[in-house]
């Protein structure tokens, strides 16, 4: 178990996810998603927290939405770090599992808050969700492997040790 390596790998994964998301915005000229802010607003309301009104409230919603995403990404990495070393899958399977876990950790709370409904997404929306999470999963798996690999030992590329 290595919680620190899991958190550090997840931080790298979050950076990759954000980079791919912002590149998508640049390439397609799409605006930032309002979904995280809407979910943050719903969750704050359910918790009895008043975010206020006007521009400051909008900024609080946006910031809280981003923080919820970071919390989900870090949580997935920390949970991955809890896996015993002999139970950790080969790198490609780890990357896939981390991708799916990050999508679930990010999308399920948004859907539960009523901010989005993945059943109604078109292909472009799915691709816009999958690609950043895939970047997260790959990056988190590779960085975790590099951080926890015994010195002088080659990395696990395609096979289990």
Q: Per residue in 100-120, pLDDT tens?
A: 999 999 999 888 888 888 999
pLDDT at res. 153: 63
Q: 158 or 71: which carries more pLDDT confidence?
A: 71
Q: Which residues contact 88 (CB under 8 A, 6 or more apart)?
A: 94
pLDDT at res. 145: 93
Q: What percent of the chain stands above pLDDT 70?
A: 93
Tell me the C-alpha to C-alpha distance, in Å, between residue 114 and each of 35, 42, 60, 84, 126.
9, 8, 19, 36, 17
Q: Is the pLDDT of residue 144 over 60?
A: yes
Mapped onto helix, strand or coil, the DSSP state of residue 82 is helix
Tell me the C-alpha to C-alpha distance, in Å, between residue 12 and each of 18, 114, 128.
10, 29, 19
pLDDT at res. 157: 53
Q: Are 99 and 133 in contact (CB under 8 A)?
A: yes
Mean pLDDT of the chain: 89
DSSP string over 38-69: HHHHHHHHHTT----SHHHHHHHHHHHHHHHH
Taking only Cα atoms into account, the Rg of the chain, rounded to an integer number of angstroms, comes to 17
What tokens does 5 get? 């390596």
What tokens does 81 get? 């770090």
């Amino acid at each position: 178990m290595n919680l620190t390596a899991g958190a550090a790998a997840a931080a790298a994964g979050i950076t990759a996810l954000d980079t791919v998301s912002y590149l998508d915005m640049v390439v397609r000229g799409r605006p930032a998603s309002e979904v995280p802010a809407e979910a943050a607003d719903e969750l704050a309301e359910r918790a009895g927290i008043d975010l206020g009104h006007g521009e400051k409230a909008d900024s609080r919603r946006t910031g809280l939405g981003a923080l919820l995403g970071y919390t989900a990404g870090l949580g997935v990495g920390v949970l991955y770090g809890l896996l015993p070393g002999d139970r950790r899958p080969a790198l490609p399977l780890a990357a896939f599992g981390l991708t799916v876990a990050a999508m679930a950790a990010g999308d399920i709370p948004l859907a539960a808050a009523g901010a989005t409904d993945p059943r109604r997404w078109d292909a472009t929306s799915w691709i816009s969700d999958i690609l950043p999470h895939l970047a997260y999963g790959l990056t988190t798996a590779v960085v975790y492997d590099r951080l926890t690999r015994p010195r002088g030992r080659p990395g696990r590329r395609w096979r289990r040790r």
